[in-house]
């Protein structure tokens, strides 16, 4: 079994079908689209899942009753979707392709690596906290979305925090755990604004994650809040 299939089998925390349908329709922001494409690169049946999502989305539109909507509402909605479609990251490789890096190589999945145009060690990492570094990649979209990467040493504990909206964290290398489970390469943890959690980076190897958050992080600790203006998240 090749490296791509081994990693695919380990992906237990997958994004829901609503994310796939929005991605297939081009209805996500650039940051959301990039994270979803990167997540799908770890899943061997991603092309089939996307095709199913597109079929479901098409069926939902076909089943709408235009006579129950305001005059012209359906046409206006479809026009807005067409006009607002953001640039999509690189297309996903075909099923079965060994599109993930082999063990020991750069851990970035193909869509993220192509979008960045460089490897993980060529990025400008900056201090985030003891044993942690970050790099900011993109900001925009509704809700003040921020796409960034975290790099943490084994055994690091990330202080308890929450968010003002949706948080998506995709593991690229290593692993972490919190009260909701353990997360390994390809897994995505999805949180909402009502949820507070602390993360424990597992022992063994460094952990690298791609994160999409909305607005500034809400730290519980006053010490973390005191240094927050200096870390810019």
Q: What is the mean pLDDT of residues 43-51?
A: 88
118-231: which CATH number, 3.90.1640.10, 3.40.80.10, 2.102.10.10, 2.60.120.10?
Answer: 2.60.120.10
More confident residue, 215 or 34: 34
> Cβ(134)–Cβ(231) under 8 Å?
yes
Lowest mean pLDDT among 36-50, 67-81, 129-143, 149-163: 67-81
Task: Find the DSSP H helices in the chain.
Answer: 3-9, 17-24, 30-40, 46-63, 73-84, 110-116, 222-231
Rounded CA gap, 65 and 36, in Å? Answer: 31
Rounded CA gap, 167 and 99, in Å? Answer: 26
Write out pLDDT tens, residues 74-108: 555 455 445 544 444 444 544 334 344 444 579 99
CATH number of 3-84: 1.10.10
Q: What is the mean pLDDT of residues 122-129?
A: 91
pLDDT at 197: 66
pLDDT at 186: 96
Q: What is the mean pLDDT of the chain?
A: 76
- For CATH 2.60.120.10, the residue range(s) in the chain are 118-231
Q: What is the mean pLDDT of residues 47-54?
A: 84
Token representation of residue 11: 């992906």
Above 70 in pLDDT, residue 190? Answer: yes
pLDDT at 217: 63
C-alpha distances out from residue 49 to 53, 103, 104, 111, 147, Å: 6, 26, 29, 17, 24
pLDDT at 205: 95
More confident residue, 29 or 97: 29
pLDDT at 159: 75
Write out pLDDT tens, residues 206-217: 999 999 988 766
pLDDT at 198: 79
Buried b / exposed e across 172-198, counting CB within 10 Å, b at 16+? bbbbbebeeeebbbbbbbbbeeeeeee
Token representation of residue 122: 């060529």
Number of helices followed by number of strands (H, E) in the chain: 7, 11
- For CATH 1.10.10, the residue range(s) in the chain are 3-84
Token representation of residue 78: 């479809």
Q: What is the mean pLDDT of residues 25-31?
A: 94
Output the DSSP codes for 4-29.
HHHHHHT--S---HHHHHHHHTT-S-
Above 70 in pLDDT, residue 219? Answer: no
């Amino acid at each position: 079994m090749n490296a791509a299939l081994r990693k695919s089998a380990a992906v237990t925390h997958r994004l829901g079908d609503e994310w796939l349908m929005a991605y297939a329709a081009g209805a996500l922001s650039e940051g959301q689209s990039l994270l979803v494409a990167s997540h799908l690169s770890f899943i061997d049946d991603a092309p089939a899942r996307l095709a199913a999502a597109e079929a479901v989305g098409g069926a939902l539109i076909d089943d709408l009753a235009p006579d129950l909507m305001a005059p012209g509402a359906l046409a206006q909605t479809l026009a807005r979707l067409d006009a607002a479609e953001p640039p999509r990251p690189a297309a996903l490789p075909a099923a079965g392709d060994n599109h993930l890096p082999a063990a020991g190589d750069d851990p970035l999945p193909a869509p993220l690596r192509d979008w960045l145009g460089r490897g993980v060690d060529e990025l400008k990492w900056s201090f985030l906290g003891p044993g942690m570094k970050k790099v900011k990649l993109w900001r925009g979209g509704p809700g003040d979305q921020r796409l960034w990467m975290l790099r943490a040493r084994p055994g690091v504990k990330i202080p308890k925090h929450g968010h003002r909206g949706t948080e998506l964290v995709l593991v690229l290398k290593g692993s972490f755990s919190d009260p909701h489970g353990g997360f390994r390469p390809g897994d995505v943890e999805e949180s909402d604004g009502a949820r507070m959690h602390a993360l424990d980076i597992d022992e063994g190897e460094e952990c690298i994650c791609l994160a999409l958050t909305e607005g500034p992080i809400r730290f519980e600790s006053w010490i973390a809040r005191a240094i927050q203006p200096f870390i810019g998240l």
